[in-house]
Each structure stands twice: as structure tokens, then as C-alpha cells.
Amino acid sequence: MDKIRVLIVDDSIFFRTALQKILMNDNSIEIIGTAGSALDADRKISELSPDVVTLDVEMPNMSGTDFLKKLIPVKPIPVILVSSLNVGAFDALSAGAVDFVRKPASNSGPDFVAFCNELKGKIKIAKNAKVRQPRAAAPVTKTATSATNTIKNLASGAVKRHVIAIGASTGGTEATSDVLKDLPENIPGIIIVQHMPVGFTKMYAERLDRTSKIKVVEAVDGERVEQGKAIVAAGDKHMTLAKDSKGYYVKCQAGDKVSGHCPSVDVMFESVAKTAGKDAIGVILTGMGRDGARGLLHMRQNGAFTIGQDEKSCVVYGMPMVAFELGGVCEQASCSAIAGRLVKKIGE
């Protein structure tokens, strides 16, 4: 098998050197060069034609985001962001990056080794990922009330009975945003698991809140699932659905990885299958691996309506493919069509 040819772009020579040394230990990866600036990276990409680029978001003269806005429309190469805890990572994802990894505080030690191992895995995924063209997400003005009648046929009490569960991984930050921005303010409550490092989920929820008609928050234990609101699982806790006399709410609890992740889509979907049954709708979006596939099957078996993102619109057709092959998907739809299918199904 041919090695994956990688270009490392970072303004720190010490970080580039340390990263190159560890990545070269993987027999499936070849480091074909490094660059210390966007200008240097642009030249080396033209000269070396890498399969994957790792890119620092914060660089002098031209940021990683601005570089991506110029690069991707001309050369749609898979790019993995290497970012500190900064909201700029999401701007870079909108500019066409495939995925991101949180930058460690040190260039040595266990945290750096864990970072490199995570990056190795994402490089292998990115090699065959589809690159999205840059696009800007315009802020949405929320109206004073979420009790609009956008879903025309919504029966009395149906909102409180229904819950929508969405799971995503690689490419999912933008896919989930695409779905949410097209949903009306009176959509039933939504819970979301997006594979993302701890610390980033709060910023992600805030970003979704700015670009959606509905309210979006990061999950806290006991948060109520309400009409016109979406809850994003925190980056280091499993999120499950529970119910009491007042309706649905979420439980958040630290735990071991399930299906390779914490939070896990499978954990969330399994709880939705048991708690909401036929009153739930499950959506599985782009992502590598199989997290969520088994849980979505159990949701369908318990009477829920389920949607899988189709192959053409996925950055990585992994999780939705496995869910479809297991029989967990009632229908497949493009990312741009999923919001419409949710509205129609809720209104039936």
C-alpha cells in the first residue's frame, strides 16, 4: 500500500520537528516536507502535491483560515487543522478543512504522544475524505418567540412527545450546522453528539446558536429537552436521554469510551430508543467508523423514524454506511434535504 504523503504546516520549528519525528514512526505515513508559513506552504503544496496537509490555525502574516479560503477552491486537498482552544478552528472548518485536532500544550510527554496518535488516525481518514468548498455561515436573527406555526400540521402535545437525536463525526461540524440552520423555531427538542475534543463543544454550541433559528446550548446534567432548543453533548461526557413527569431531559456522565468515543453516539441513541421509542427521530451524519450504527438500529426497532446522510453528501461515508447496512436507516437523504424531511415527518 502506498504511504500517505503529508505536509506539516506550523510556524514553530520545534513543533514541526517533534511532530515529524513521531509521525514518521508510522509505516503508512510519509512526511514529504514541512512549512513555517502560509506562503511557504502554498509553494510546497504546488511542488510536492501532498495527499494530506496538517495546518496550524494561528500563524503570522496569514492565518490558517485565510490560507484555506485561498487554497481549497483551487486545490481541494484534505487539510487537518491543528488548533489550540480557539473559536477560529470552526471558521477554518467552514473554509474547507476536513477535521481538527487539539494542539497540546507541550511538544513532549504523554499529552503530545496522545495528540500524535489521534492525528495519525485522522490523517488516514482524511486521505479519502471529500473536501467541501468554503462557505460562510451568516448569523440568524431569532424572533421573540419560538412558538411559531412553521410546522403546520403539528398536533397538540406532539412537540413534548417528540425528540430528535443527531450523531456525527468527521465532517459533522458543518453537516450538523447545515441541518440546524434550516429548521424552524417550533421544531421539537434536539440532542446532538458530535465527536469533538473537550473544551470545543461549548464554543461549537455557541456557534450553532448564532447560525440557527433555534437555541443551542452545551449539555449540563439535568438540562431540559425543549421545543426550539438543541443540546450538544460536552466533549468529555456521555449524554443520555431521560424522562420524568415534566418531559425529557438529559443526563451527562463521565465514562469509558464506547464504540471508541466519549461522548458516544451509540450511548445516546440507545437511551433514546429505550426512553422515547416511536416518538423519536434519529439522524446519523458523516463520520468514520461505526459509532451510532447499532444504536440507530435499536431506535428503528423500537419504532423510531431514522435518517442516514447519503454517500454523495458525506465527507466520510462511514457511520451512515454501517447504519444503513445493519438495517438501521429508514431512508437516506442528502445533508441539504434532511431538515425538510424532519419537518415533514414531525408534521405528519
For the annotated catalytic residues, the residue numbers are 169, 195, 291
Cell of 5: 504523503
Nearest to 293 by CA among 277, 313, 273, 315: 273
Contacts of 171 by beta carbon, 8 Å cutoff, 6+ apart: 98, 99, 129, 130, 132, 285, 286, 287, 314, 315, 316
Q: d(Cα 171, Cα 193) in Å, to the nearest integer?
A: 13
96 close to 132: Cβ distance less than 8 angstroms: yes
Given the DSSP bridges, would you call strands 52-56 and 4-9 parallel, antiparallel or unpaired?
parallel
107 close to 15: Cβ distance less than 8 angstroms: yes
197 close to 235: Cβ distance less than 8 angstroms: yes
203 close to 188: Cβ distance less than 8 angstroms: no
Q: d(Cα 296, Cα 173) in Å, to the nearest integer?
A: 20
Buried-exposed string 113-144: b where 16+ CB fall within 10 A, e elsewhere = eebbeebbbbbebbbebbbbebeebeeeeeee
> What is the chain's length?
348
Nearest to 128 by CA among 318, 338, 337: 318
How many other C-beta atoms are found inside a 10 Å radius of the C-beta of residue 237? 20
Nearest to 174 by CA among 196, 190, 189: 196
Query: Does 60 sit behind a cis peptide bond, omega within 30 degrees of 0 on the bond before it?
Result: no
